[in-house]
Structure formats: C-alpha cells, structure tokens
Amino acid sequence: MNTSSSTQAQRCTLPDCDAIVVQPECGGVPQIYCSREHRRMARKLRSIARAEADPVQVDTRLPQKPDVNDNRAWLTNPFSVQS
C-alpha cells in the first residue's frame, strides 16, 4: 500500500498562510485550510472576487410622474387620485 500521499506535508491554501494542515487519521475529505477561520476567510475572499467579477446593475433612473389627467393614474400612484 502506498502511504506517501498521507505523509506529505500540506500547507494551508489561504494566501500568505504557511501553516501545516493536519489531516484526520480516520480519512474523510482532505482538509485544505489549517483552521475553520481560514476556511471562512477563503470563502469570503471568493465571494468578494465573484462580486467584483459580476457587478450588479443598478437602475439609477428616477421614476416618471404619473399623468394626473390619465384615468389610469391611480394604477401607478394611488395617492395621486383627486376626489
């Protein structure tokens, strides 16, 4: 059985972290971060990168005023109806 991959030292994949990642003895999913906090930080960095790559388009136009002479004005602005 080849156990060389389980004995190799692995570093945390968070940028600027040189900590050694300890793999669980029982197996399971290999860990790539040295701590829960670094996993959270990496998730936050990925979220920020996605947001910067795909900015949300915001409609900055002002709403148009309804025509008070239009009988359908109450459909767009219920406070513009005159008794």
Answer yes or no: is 26 within a domain. Answer: yes
Domain count, the chain: 1
Rounded to an integer, what distance in angstroms lies between the CA atom of residue 46 and that of residue 51?
9
> Which residue segment(s) compose the domain that 26 sits in?
9-53
Rounded to an integer, what distance in angstroms lies between the CA atom of residue 2 and that of residue 11?
21
Q: Residue 49 is encoded by which pair of tokens?
A: 């990168």
Residue, of 48 and 72, whose pLDDT is higher? 48
pLDDT one-digit tens code per residue, 7-58: 567 899 998 999 999 888 887 888 999 999 999 999 999 998 888 877 667 7
75 within 8 A of 82, measured Cβ to Cβ: no
The pTM assigned to this predicted structure is 0.51
Answer yes or no: is 40 within a domain. Answer: yes
Answer yes or no: is 2 within a domain. Answer: no
